[in-house]
Amino acid sequence: MNMWLGLLIPFFGTTLGSACVYILKNKNNELLSRCFSGIASGVMVAASIWSLLIPAIKQEKNILIVVLGIFVGSLLLLVLDSFVPHIHPGTKDEEGKESHLKKTTKLVLAVTLHNIPEGMAVGIVLAQAIQTQNLFSGLALSIGIAIQNFPEGAILSLPLKSNGYSKHKAFLIGALSGIVEPIFGYLTILFSNWILQCLPFCLSFAAGAMLFVVVEELVPEMAQGRHSNLPTLSFLVGFCIMMVLDVILG
Q: Confirm if 210 and 124 have CB atoms less than 8 A apart.
A: no
Residue 49 CB-density burial (10 A; 0-12 exposed, 13-18 middle, 19+ buried): middle
Convert the pLDDT of each residue in 12-26 to its tens digit. 999 998 998 888 765
**Which DSSP state fits 49?**
I
Q: What percent of the chain has pLDDT over 90?
A: 22
Q: At what angle do helices 2-18 and 135-162 cross, to 10 degrees?
A: 20
89: DSSP letter: T
As a whole number, mean pLDDT of residues 57-74 equals 92
pLDDT number for residue 90: 57
Residue 67 confidence (pLDDT) above 60? yes
Q: What is the pLDDT of residues 69-110, one digit of tens each?
A: 999 999 988 888 887 776 666 556 666 677 666 766 777 777
Maximal CA-CA distance, the chain: 54
The stretch 172-180 carries a mean pLDDT of 88
Question: pTM of the predicted model, to two decimals?
Answer: 0.83
pLDDT class of 124 with cuts at 50, 70, 90: confident
Report whether 250 contacts 55 (CB < 8 A): no
Distance of CA 118 to the CA centre of its chain: 5
Q: How confident is the model at residue 28 (pLDDT cuts 50, 70, 90)?
A: low
Angle at 29 between CA 157 and CA 48, to 5 degrees: 65
Q: What is the pLDDT of residue 211?
A: 92
Q: What is the pLDDT of residue 89?
A: 60
